Structure 1
Amino acid sequence: MHSTHERGSIKSAPVSNLSDFTVHLHGLGDSLKDVQVFSRDKQSGVNPCAFNNGGCSELCLFNGTHPVCACAHGKVSLDGKTCEDYDSFLLYSRVVRIDSIHMFNEFNLNAPFPSIQSKEFMRNAIGLSFDYRRSKIFYSDIQRGSINQVFFNGSGHRVIVEHQGSVEGLAYEAVNNVLYWTCNNDATINHINLTSNDTKVKTIINLGQNDKPRGIEVDSCDARMYWTNWNSHSPSIQRAYFTGFDLESIITTNIRMPNALTLDHKARKLYWGDARLDKIERAEYDGSNRIILGKVTPQHPFDLAVYGDYIFWTDWVLHAVIRANKYTGDDWVWLRKEVPRPMGIIAVANDTTDCFSNACLVLNGGCEDICTLDAAGEPICSCFPGRELIVGGTRCASSDTNCTADSFRCSSDASFRVCHNGYFQCSNNRCVFDNHTCNNMNDCGDGSDELNCTCTDESHFRCASGTCILSSFRCDHDADCLDASDEMNCPPRNCSGLHRRAPMIACNHTTACIYANWLCDGENDCWDNSDEMNCDAKSPPRERGKMPELRTVALVGSSHCLSRELSHWWAVPTV
């Protein structure tokens, strides 16, 4: 092996005359380090891979003791023999081919899929998008002026539409099975419906004479498309609805050449790269809250992708595919180096474009007024004008409500109140004095003031729910635990003599005594609901007598102050 001869070569020669060499390979570069010779004559023993390929469907590697199956591409299945495709990976275009990369394992240089090439269809591939459900890749070829499709495994090359000019941005919208793209030649945004057999291209937006749309992404939940505009006089990032309605420029300042663009659908964040200002930024979908990823210094970001906690981009000056932390831009990893012209890049996974997993779509993210998302996709609550967050960070109250020292601040629907210092916030949002916790009394009404208390074996009993009560309350024929666990596993109780005129019966699992006609009447009389089990039909509701009159307080307005004297009672809003 010679690192300089014939630009890196591998040679052989007789031991007796090293000058009589033969060059086997040349032009291998100057990074040659070692060479090993494998010959059947040097081997001894039996290699189990020689028999039925060791049971492997693709590669069989003998480790000295037993065969180990491996895959040329893809991963070994759970059976340890067969191979299956990876379910997430990166794809990037490099002019005459499309290559794949592992997103998170930079040490595995074996590509998830073979390189995709075609002399007939692929001459200058730029823009990329994908249909995960159908395992399809969409790519634009600016030399042919066409938009093509191919399957993940490289089969099924097909032209979707021709004569489209310089298409550098593609975006597939899965809900309606529609493909969108930008055209630099005539400054248009176009789409085609892939469900119908009609291949007619529809132009949605005609931009101005100086406009040069490039990168594009779509959001199915809001039915909007976003794109970068290279207009040399007024560069911007723009958006509009799928119909072309309500076109607006959302980023217009501190921007020169917005090249790359991607959407983080889970966190509802917009990322873009500026090829002239050499930066990557993040913002809300409306362009607000702009943040420059300070640790990132790209030289010429051509395209961007985002998945999980990372951003990925292709860089023309660095000739590389790079990964970094999407929150800070830190933790750079060079996934591929020495790539002459890396173009489009996409993060392929089943949830890359899933905007329906937005946490704010479920019960408004737990927020009373406004729910937005942070960069990780976690809900952030805020309030409408004139209102402010109260303790807990999810409820809102009027900003001009001033509660006195003898009152509590409640949320607008009275379902939450803020407890002052010296009070304990119950799980049911009542307020009790701090010194009323862990006192073996259910002051909150839901037992939360007796949770996480220290129970001593000698003097206390811990309920199954976690609350503590005095040991003297155990098996005293009165349910002190909310789950009645203090009255379970007790000595049998004789209930027959408790009431002469109407004999009573004992419950199966607790010390409660009930009347026989209370069985299957829809009421939990045994404290564990055992008297309502295995019932064919409910008996008519019995007359229990009048309930004690509850003390309530009427609330008026959007937020309220509740007297501390009434803090143990539920506040009932009146209409």
Structure 2
Amino acid sequence: MALEPYTKSAEIEPQLCQVIDSNKDVTTKATKCAKSNSGVGWRQMLIGFLLICFGISNSWQYKNVHMPSSSSLIASPPASAFVNTPATLLFTTRHDIQVANITRPTGGPQIDVIVRDLAEAMAIDFYYAKNLVCWTDSGREIIECAQTNSSALQPLLRAPKQTVISTGLDKPEGLAIDWYTDKIYWTDGEKNRIEVATLDGRYQKVLFWTDLDQPRAVAVVPARKLLIWTDWGEYPKIERASMDGDPLSRMTLVKEHVFWPNGLAVDLKNELIYWTDGKHHFIDVMRLDGSSRRTIVNNLKYPFSLTFFDDRLYWTDWQRGSLNALDLQTRELKELIDTPKAPNSVRAWDPSLQPYEDNPCAHNNGNCSHLCLLATNSQGFSCACPTGVKLSLQIPVPMGRRR
């Protein structure tokens, strides 16, 4: 899909909202080359690519070389210590939020509880630039956030939990923060809806409410203005759409050999989607358009939530009550945490996972009165109104799309 670059324009008129009948129902990263083998290093890439590193005048140059995915010429990567690269993982259990620092070569990860006294915590996400952690609590039918003390994720024993969304929820499950425009997206598995609101909870809008049956995980790709979600209902599938909820942009990515699609994780740099299936016991990967699908690891117990960081996959397993990891280079599989408090959702915490780019909503809220949502249209955004409110047609809007 070709996406036109965003160009600021002084011709965009403000777009205003007006109240309507509120009773109406709206039903790879390149690592340093190995210095062995005469200075020639290599790195295995997903989906049929090999990254070859050539030594040039004491510097290194990387080239992507297309290779058949089944090529027998690619040797196995050398073994390496799994925990050489530090990682910080946020994860929910039923009643709290914990952080695991995967930094020590021996002795296992250091684990701290940073949020306590939750009813039934499910999904979790973060906003690194604002030191913000947010989660869904299905037991209390709310979405909450808390400010961390620092980027080191110190325990939040004194930080008050702030309720962001408390109305219109039955079973909030999936959660994703758009760090470009300060929006929060979520799924409701009981009402079968996908919704969005500003990060402070204002201007709540239903984006999708038809042809949904148990939506669960949700993820955003702000650079491509894409919203991705799983649905594990009678006809399980994985779908994507424009982040503004344009129904014409909606498309099915997966509908074959899928039963319980639970977790989603996006490799933003390589534009890959990883996802788990708890019934079929695998983790698969595909491109953003659903092509080039293949299995990364299978014969798992009950993979649930999933996150990607630094060429590693981390996931929770509901049957084992564990937090696990797979190194995509060495193929080493490791159980990191085995706890009676079974982990639900997991997210890697790192600034590299939320790279920021200029966008139309960053400039005077896109001249929108309420919601400025990233979109795959030619303008790169749409003005939208909270549910129960519609855009006023009384003023001219020479450019931009209204929703």
Please, what TM-score do these two structures have when normalized by structure 1?
A: 0.44
SS in structure 2 at match of 1:115: strand
Instruction: Name 1:275's counterpart in structure 2.
Output: 278
Count of aligned pairs: 262
CA–CA distance in 2 between the matches of 1:104 and 1:309?
16
Deviation at 1:341, TM superposition (A): 2.1
Instruction: Name 1:353's counterpart in structure 2.
Output: 354
Instruction: Name 1:287's counterpart in structure 2.
Output: 290
SS in structure 2 at match of 1:351: helix
What pairs up with 1:73-88 in 2 under 5 angstroms?
Answer: none
What pairs up with 1:452-531 in 2 under 5 angstroms?
Answer: none
Q: 1:227 to 1:293 in 2, by over 3 A?
A: same
* Unmatched runs of 5 consecutive residues or more in structure 1: 1-85, 357-575
Instruction: Name 2:328's counterpart in structure 1.
Output: 326
Instruction: Name 2:382's counterpart in structure 1.
Output: none
Question: Out of 152, 156, 173, which is 2:178 matched to?
Answer: 173
- Contact kept, 8 Å, 1:99 with 1:111, in 2: the verdict is no
- Contact kept, 8 Å, 2:124 with 2:345, in 1: the verdict is yes
Deviation at 1:314, TM superposition (A): 0.3
CA–CA distance in 1 between the matches of 2:87 and 2:299?
27
Q: 1:88 to 1:277 in 2, by over 3 A?
A: closer
Structure 1 residues 106-154: Cα deviation after superposition (integer angstroms, max 9, x where no partner): 6354636x312333xx211111000101111001100100000113331
- Contact kept, 8 Å, 2:86 with 2:103, in 1: the verdict is no
Q: 1:342 to 1:332 in 2, by over 3 A?
A: same
Q: 1:266 to 1:108 in 2, by over 3 A?
A: farther
- Contact kept, 8 Å, 1:265 with 1:355, in 2: the verdict is no
Instruction: Name 1:90's counterpart in structure 2.
Output: 89
> Would you tell me which structure has more strand in proportion to its own residues?
2
Q: 1:104 to 1:235 in 2, by over 3 A?
A: farther
Instruction: Name 1:124's counterpart in structure 2.
Output: 120
Instruction: Name 2:129's counterpart in structure 1.
Output: 133
What pairs up with 1:22-37 in 2 under 5 angstroms?
Answer: none
* Unmatched runs of 5 consecutive residues or more in structure 2: 1-84, 149-153, 358-403
Instruction: Name 1:472's counterpart in structure 2.
Output: none
Instruction: Name 2:17's counterpart in structure 1.
Output: none
CA–CA distance in 2 between the matches of 1:243 and 1:259?
23
What pairs up with 1:52-201 in 2 under 5 angstroms?
Answer: 89-105=88-104, 107=106, 109=108, 111=110, 114-119=112-117, 122-152=118-148, 153=154, 154=156, 155-163=159-167, 164-194=169-199, 199-201=202-204
Deviation at 1:292, TM superposition (A): 0.2
Deviation at 1:103, TM superposition (A): 3.5
Question: Out of 211, 219, 222, which is 2:221 matched to?
Answer: 219
Deviation at 1:338, TM superposition (A): 2.7
Structure 1 residues 219-266: Cα deviation after superposition (integer angstroms, max 9, x where no partner): 01111100001122x211000001112111111111111011111111
- Cα RMSD between the aligned structures? 2.1
Deviation at 1:186, TM superposition (A): 1.2
Q: 1:276 to 1:110 in 2, by over 3 A?
A: closer
- Amino acid paired to 1:231: G
CA–CA distance in 2 between the matches of 1:157 and 1:214?
24
Instruction: Name 2:29's counterpart in structure 1.
Output: none
The structure, 1 or 2, with the larger RCO (C-alpha pairs under 8 Å, 6+ apart) is 2
- Contact kept, 8 Å, 1:102 with 1:108, in 2: the verdict is no
Q: 1:165 to 1:198 in 2, by over 3 A?
A: closer
Structure 1 residues 84-118: Cα deviation after superposition (integer angstroms, max 9, x where no partner): xx995101101111111124546354636x31233
- Contact kept, 8 Å, 2:87 with 2:103, in 1: the verdict is no
In the alignment, structure 1 residue 248 sits paired with structure 2 residue 246: no
- Contact kept, 8 Å, 2:164 with 2:201, in 1: the verdict is no
- Amino acid paired to 1:193: T
Deviation at 1:161, TM superposition (A): 1.1
- Amino acid paired to 1:345: V
Structure 1 residues 369-421: Cα deviation after superposition (integer angstroms, max 9, x where no partner): xxxxxxxxxxxxxxxxxxxxxxxxxxxxxxxxxxxxxxxxxxxxxxxxxxxxx
SS in structure 1 at match of 2:351: coil
Structure 1 residues 20-46: Cα deviation after superposition (integer angstroms, max 9, x where no partner): xxxxxxxxxxxxxxxxxxxxxxxxxxx
- Contact kept, 8 Å, 1:87 with 1:350, in 2: the verdict is no
- Contact kept, 8 Å, 1:219 with 1:355, in 2: the verdict is no
SS in structure 2 at match of 1:346: strand
Q: 1:108 to 1:149 in 2, by over 3 A?
A: farther
CA–CA distance in 2 between the matches of 1:337 and 1:223?
37
Deviation at 1:342, TM superposition (A): 1.1
- Amino acid paired to 2:176: A
- Amino acid paired to 1:148: E
